[in-house]
Structure formats: structure tokens, C-alpha cells
Amino acid sequence: MKIICIGRNYSEHAKEMNSALPENPVFFIKPDNCLLRNNQPFYYPEFTKELQYELEVVLRINRLGRSINKRYAHRYYDAVT
């Protein structure tokens, strides 16, 4: 599985982080083990002083496409978490 992420595309969050909003979103890749599946627990070391976390929306894209009209976008994914 390939996880392609889009970052710095949410203007309110960029303001919270005192970060400039780029002209174009930033794309980056994550390993598939970064997803917690089937309600598996998340572990972190006891010595952790501060744990940063975010909630993300993930769509599983199940078809190839290009220049897809917003009206038909729902046809190109089959799972949301």
C-alpha cells in the first residue's frame, strides 16, 4: 500500500503553527504501518514527556483517474477512516 499525504493545505492549522501557507500543498509519503488498524492500541515509551498528535482523514483510492469532476469523486474511493 502506498500512503500519499498532503500537508500544509489547511490555512487555520498553518496559522496555529505560525507557518506560512505555501502556494501549493506539500506532498509526502508515509509507511503503511503508520495507520492503526482494527482498533489496535498505540504505544509510546514511558519516558515520553510530551506527545504530539493529530487526527487525519484517510481515503482509500480504488481507481485511477485524472482531472476528476468533484461530482464524480466519490466513485474513486472505497473506504474512509
Number of domains composing the chain: 1
Q: Is the CB of residue 80 less than 8 Å from the CB of residue 58?
A: yes
Residue 78 belongs to what H/E stretch?
strand 77-80
Predicted local distance difference test score (pLDDT) of residue 47: 96
Contact 32, 1 (CB under 8 A): yes
Distances (CA, A) of 43 to 16, 32, 50, 58: 27, 17, 14, 21
Query: 28-76, pLDDT tens digit by residue?
Result: 999 988 888 888 898 899 999 999 887 788 888 999 999 999 999 999 9
pTM of this structure: 0.59
Range of the domain at 12: 3-80
